[in-house]
Structure formats: structure tokens, C-alpha cells
């Protein structure tokens, strides 16, 4: 069996957009020593393909990090297969709050050095020595205490559209950059309660272990991240301390946790929290754009890109070739957007 996609991505996206099949979007992660990640990757690809799973999954010697959707009709069969894998038996499945079934359009499973790029090379660092996990109720209680320090362990383009009340929001683009920066920011507070959170929990597993490794004595993390917090808050009728949207890494780009709009259009400054990618494929910048600016700039991030997409394909290709080394593709957020 072919263990990779052979169909054009545009065709796959068209298929899923036109499909009426009900699908459930899920994320999961597990730090676990995997002796042969290549074999495990192929094993997952074969079985997930049979079940109709679509998504983006990373496998490494340190574990698995997965965001995907499964046909709802196959959900029980999927769980049976997944729980049949010893170290994934009973694993928590973070199920999306807002889901139209169009979150992914193909299945991609890649083997990587690490499931979360952290830049840590110290052999003495133990990622399993993480902070204490908090339920939503425990999180609300602890973060209400004056001495508690709350840190958002996501990148700035994520926290820009939504975050917890009174959280420190590091101005970073990568987790690798964030770890030492947060440790330095908090170096004089090693005995205070430090609570960390991220989208689904995977980054905080390492981040909390990293702070403990750096000598912090009272480290906590939100169990299951924002996704699980939102579920518990709804089911248990708890106060919601998250403001705005939760950024997610699929076609949806975000889930609403509260009705607040805390971000602004990167082009005109109007209140807006809708992330889009510039339609100029040679740019593809992720940024926030309101409907008026989408119309004005023809769904581009700048006048330059608006002009480029009006050219013939050969001219666009030449532009992409010349700008590949100069324009930061997939640059994220407020500091990289050209407005006019």
C-alpha cells in the first residue's frame, strides 16, 4: 500500500469542501519513548487511511502530537484502534468546540526529531518532570490568588486574538524562543506559584518541566490546555476566565471561547479577530484582516501583493523566485504585516 498522499492538495481540499460527511475534529499528544518512529508512522498511516482520518500528525522518538478529523460514523472504530496501542490506551481526546467537518483535507504523518521543537540539547533535562496539572476549577482558584503568575506559552499571533485574564503574553514567534525568555522574565519569582497554559497542553508539558529544571519550585500547568478548559467550564458551569478566541492549527484557525473581540485588523485597526493567509501564494502571510480590508486589498496583505495576483502566472512565478529570500514566508502577526 502507498503510505503517502498521491492526489493534488487543491483537489483534496475541493473534495472535503463539497463533502456532506459529518466529521469530528480531535487533538491529542503523548510523550512516550518510541523506539522505531518510522515503523510507527507507517502503521498509523495505514490504519488511519482505512478509517478516513485526515489531519497533521508528528511522530518522534519522544512521542506523538496529532491534530486530525475522523468521520463521525467511524469514531468508535477509531477509538478502538487507538486504545489498542498500549501507550495510547485511554488517552484524552480533545474534541473541537466549533467544528464544520472541514478542518483538514488530507492525511499527513511526519517523523521529526521532536514533536515540539524546543531547542533544548541538554542531556540532563527531563521533560517528564513536569508541573502539577490543574483542572479548570483548580486553575480558576489558583489564578485568582494575588501572588500567582500566569504565563501564556503560545506564540504572540495566538494570544493576540484570545488569552486568559491577567496572563503574561510573551512577544515571541516560536516555542524555542519562548522557553529561555520566560525563564529569564521570571527568574526573581522562583518560589511563587507559576501557572502555564497553551492550546492543548503539549507545550506546557515541556515548559513546566523546563522551569523546574531551571530551579522554579511551584510550577503548574492547565491540564488539556484551553481546549479542555473550555469543555470543563461549559459542562460544570464554571466562570470562564478566557477572553476571545482560541487559535487552532487547522483550516478553522480559531474557536470562539467568549464573544469578546480583543484583536484588531492589521491593516486598518478596526476591531477584528479573523486570521487569514494572504492569497498571494508567494507571500502566504498569516495576519488579521476585516471584511472591508479583504475587499479593498482583494484578500491580500498589501498593495504589492494585490498587484502581484493580477499578473499572469509566469510573472507571478518570477516574483516568487526573486522574493523567496527577502520576504519571510509564513511570518506571523502584527510585526510583519505591510499595510499599504
- The catalytic site residues sit at 198
Is residue 17 within 8 Å of 65, Cβ to Cβ? no
- Closest by CA position to 97, among listed 246, 244, 307: 246
What is the DSSP-derived secondary structure letter of residue 52? T
Question: CB of 52 within 8 A of CB of 71?
Answer: yes
Grid coordinates of 260: 469578546
CB atoms within 10 A of CB 149: 18
Task: Tell me the DSSP string of 70-139.
Answer: EEGGGHHHHHHHHHTSGGGTT---EE-SS--S-S-SSEEEEE-S-SS------TT--TTS-PEEE-HHHH
Cell numbers at residue 295, please? Answer: 475587499
Amino acid at each position: 500500500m502507498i503510505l503517502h498522499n498521491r492526489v493534488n492538495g487543491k483537489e483534496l481540499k475541493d473534495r472535503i469542501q463539497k463533502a456532506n460527511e459529518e466529521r469530528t475534529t480531535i487533538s491529542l499528544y503523548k510523550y512516550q519513548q518510541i523506539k522505531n518512529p518510522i515503523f510507527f508512522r507507517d502503521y498509523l498511516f495505514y490504519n488511519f487511511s482505512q478509517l478516513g482520518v485526515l489531519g497533521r500528525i508528528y511522530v518522534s522518538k519522544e512521542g506523538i502530537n496529532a491534530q486530525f478529523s475522523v468521520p463521525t460514523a467511524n469514531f468508535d472504530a477509531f477509538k478502538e484502534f487507538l486504545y489498542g496501542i498500549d501507550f495510547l490506551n485511554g488517552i484524552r481526546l480533545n474534541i473541537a468546540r466549533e467544528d464544520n467537518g472541514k478542518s483538514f483535507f488530507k492525511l499527513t504523518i511526519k517523523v521529526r526529531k521532536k514533536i515540539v521543537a524546543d531547542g533544548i540539547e541538554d542531556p540532563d533535562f527531563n521533560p517528564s518532570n513536569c508541573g502539577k496539572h490543574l483542572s479548570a476549577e483548580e486553575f480558576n482558584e489558583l489564578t485568582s490568588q494575588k501572588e500567582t503568575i500566569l504565563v501564556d506559552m503560545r506564540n504572540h499571533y495566538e494570544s493576540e486574538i484570545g488569552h486568559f485574564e491577567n496572563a503574561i503574553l510573551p512577544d515571541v514567534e516560536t516555542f524555542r524562543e519562548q522557553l529561555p525568555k520566560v525563564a529569564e522574565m521570571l527568574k526573581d519569582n522562583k518560589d511563587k506559584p507559576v501557572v502555564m497554559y497553551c492550546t492543548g497542553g503539549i507545550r506546557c508539558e515541556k515548559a513546566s518541566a523546563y522551569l523546574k529544571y531551571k530551579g522554579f519550585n511551584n510550577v503548574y500547568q492547565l491540564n488539556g490546555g484551553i481546549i479542555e478548559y473550555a469543555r470543563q467550564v461549559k459542562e460544570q458551569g464554571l466562570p470562564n476566565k478566557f477572553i476571545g478566541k482560541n487559535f487552532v492549527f487547522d483550516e478553522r484557525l480559531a474557536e470562539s471561547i467568549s464573544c469578546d473581540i480583543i484583536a484588531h485588523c492589521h491593516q486598518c485597526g478596526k476591531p477584528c479577530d479573523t486570521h487569514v493567509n494572504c492569497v498571494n501564494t508567494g507571500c502566504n502571510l498569516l495576519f488579521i484582516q476585516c471584511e472591508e480590508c479583504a475587499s479593498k486589498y482583494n484578500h491580500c496583505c498589501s498593495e504589492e501583493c494585490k498587484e502581484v495576483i493580477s499578473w499572469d502566472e509566469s510573472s507571478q512565478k518570477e516574483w516568487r523566485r526573486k522574493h523567496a529570500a527577502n520576504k519571510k514566508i509564513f511570518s506571523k502577526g502584527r510585526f510583519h504585516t505591510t499595510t499599504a
